[in-house]
Amino acid sequence: MLGRLARYMRIMGYDTSYPNLEISDSELIEISRADDRVLLSRDKQLCSRYKQSIYIISDRIDEQIIQITNLERPRKEFLFSRCTICNGVLVKGDHNCEEEYDPRKIDTVYHCPNCGKCYWEGTHSHNILAKLESLKVYNETQTE
């Protein structure tokens, strides 16, 4: 399963669908085809059945991120623009998020209009950005 990669892809701004339910390979291919999506999988046999698929070589998240971003560079302006839960595009404004953060300490809050999840800049987002920068995600040359 590539749930962790899906979350990182959303953090980087990629439009990412990740099925939460147990579905068959055939259903996954049909969904990918219907939505005109690239299918990412660690299953070689599944990838061989769908032309628009990418076989994810490693089981290590850092290597997975590098593999994907080497194929299509993310744009830094889309960093932290999508909900990590449901892939919705984040909107500026707290929208009833006061219970989750201290408004006296946080300047800007974003929320997902689809699922209601709230996001703001803090240690967690700084750590994620540091990780992506250490992988040279936004540079022309990445580490392998």
For the stretch 4-30, pLDDT in tens is: 999 999 999 999 999 877 899 999 999
Question: Residue 88 domain-assigned?
Answer: yes
The answer to whether position 50 is within a domain reads yes
Task: Count the neighbouring beta carbons within 10 Å of the beta carbon of residue 97.
Answer: 18
Helix (H, G, I), strand (E, B) or coil at 141: coil
The answer to whether 144 and 64 are in contact (CB under 8 A) is: no
**Domain contains 109:** yes
* Residue 142 domain-assigned (yes or no): no
Structure tokens at 58: 């490693």
Give the residue numbers spanning the domain of 110: 3-134
Instruction: Give the per-residue pLDDT at 136.
Output: 92
**Structural domain includes residue 65:** yes
Residue 141, in any domain of the structure: no
- Over the stretch 41-87, which tens digit does the pLDDT of each residue have? 999 999 999 999 999 999 999 999 999 999 999 999 999 999 999 99
Question: CB of 41 within 8 A of CB of 56?
Answer: yes
Domain count, the chain: 1
Tokens of 28: 């996954």
Q: What is the mean pLDDT of residues 112-119?
A: 91
